Amino acid sequence: MCELLGMSANVPTDIVFSFTGLMQRGGRTGPHRDGWGIGFYEGRGLRLFQDPQASSESEVAQLVQRYPIKSEVIIGHIRQANVGRVCLANTHPFVREMWGRNWCFAHNGQLADFAPSFSHYRPIGDTDSEAAFCDLLNRLRQAFPEPVSVEQLLPTLVEACAGYRQQGVFNCLLSDGDWLFSFCSSKLVHITRRAPFGPAHLKDADMQVDFQAQTTPNDVVTVIATEPLTANEHWTPFQQGEWRLWRGGECIAQGLTD
């Protein structure tokens, strides 16, 4: 299985601390050696870093850890390959343009015998994850030929994710840069940090940060991960079949599928 990392914040925030912890699981404290990637939204732009090398050994990952890019929406992923070769084309997160925005997607899980028919969006690599992403965008594009609000497309989005869940394990993160959607098929956790802020200690590296020294009283930052990244904070687990929509660090909609 792979691991996911997402962030939604109400102010541009760097994710170096959480990213550093996750990268250790790519070959040092965990088995996810088959590539990693992370996307940082900057308005409608998206900075995307990917490497099919193990994240714990990747010089590109070290660059990202030294370069504190600030963003309000971030999606990251470390891969343990089960479908598809280990190569750059199969490295998450995947990105496509729709309605004049960059849509970014990462998936943890495996879909059995997943072979949808494709129309506008087609996979570049050979993973079930990218196939699901393309199928999802094709469904949304067919249902809504013109751009609509995320609140309008939510029922279609949730229905599609619930269907993928019936075919295997489908934990995912999805964003167009304005909002962050999370869906839990088997395992996801989240934590929302707000004032009063305190110190946090990584589980996978000897690193501590005092968020009070780096934030203002108005900051709200939510981090989503497959497994808790810190040892001294309370992370809230998702229920299986639960979805949440985040904007500005706050959960603005949520629900539970069968």
Q: What is the pLDDT of residues 215-243, one digit of tens each?
A: 899 999 999 999 999 999 999 999 999 99
Closest to 55 (Cα-Cα) out of 19, 83, 90, 14: 19
The per-residue pLDDT for 210 is 87
- Give me the chain's average pLDDT, please: 94
In the annotation, is 161 catalytic? no
Stretch 108-117: mean pLDDT: 91
The per-residue pLDDT for 237 is 98
Q: Domain for residue 1, yes or no?
A: no
Residue with tokens 């999370």, as numbered in its chain: 182
Q: What is the CATH number of the domain that holds 32?
A: 3.60.20.10
Lookup: tokens for 248: 């500005």
The per-residue pLDDT for 149 is 97
Q: Which amino acid is at 70?
A: K
What confidence tier does 148 reach under pLDDT thresholds 50, 70, 90?
very high
The per-residue pLDDT for 3 is 95
Please identify which of the residues 2, 134, 161, 172 carries the catalytic annotation: 2
Stretch 174-184: mean pLDDT: 98
What confidence tier does 23 reach under pLDDT thresholds 50, 70, 90?
confident
The per-residue pLDDT for 154 is 98
- Asked if residue 212 has pLDDT above 90, the reply is no
What confidence tier does 32 reach under pLDDT thresholds 50, 70, 90?
confident
Q: Domain for residue 210, yes or no?
A: yes
What confidence tier does 30 reach under pLDDT thresholds 50, 70, 90?
confident
Stretch 177-198: mean pLDDT: 96
| CA atoms of 32 and 252, how far apart (whole Å) | 32
The answer to whether 95 and 103 have CB atoms below 8 angstroms apart is yes
The per-residue pLDDT for 83 is 79
| CA atoms of 5 and 78, how far apart (whole Å) | 9
The per-residue pLDDT for 40 is 97
Q: Domain for residue 3, yes or no?
A: no
Q: Could you tell me the residue range of the domain that residue 153 belongs to? A: 8-256
Q: Which amino acid is at 170?
A: F
The stretches of the chain forming alpha helices (DSSP H) are 16-24, 59-66, 128-143, 150-165
Cβ count near 71 (within 10 Å): 23
pTM: 0.96
**Burial (CB count <10 Å: 0-12, 13-18, 19+), residue 137:** buried
% pLDDT > 90, the chain: 81
| CA atoms of 79 and 92, how far apart (whole Å) | 8
Domain count, the chain: 1
Question: For residue range 77-98, what is the model confidence (pLDDT) as tens digits?
Answer: 999 877 779 999 999 999 999 9
Run of H or E residues at 224: strand 220-225
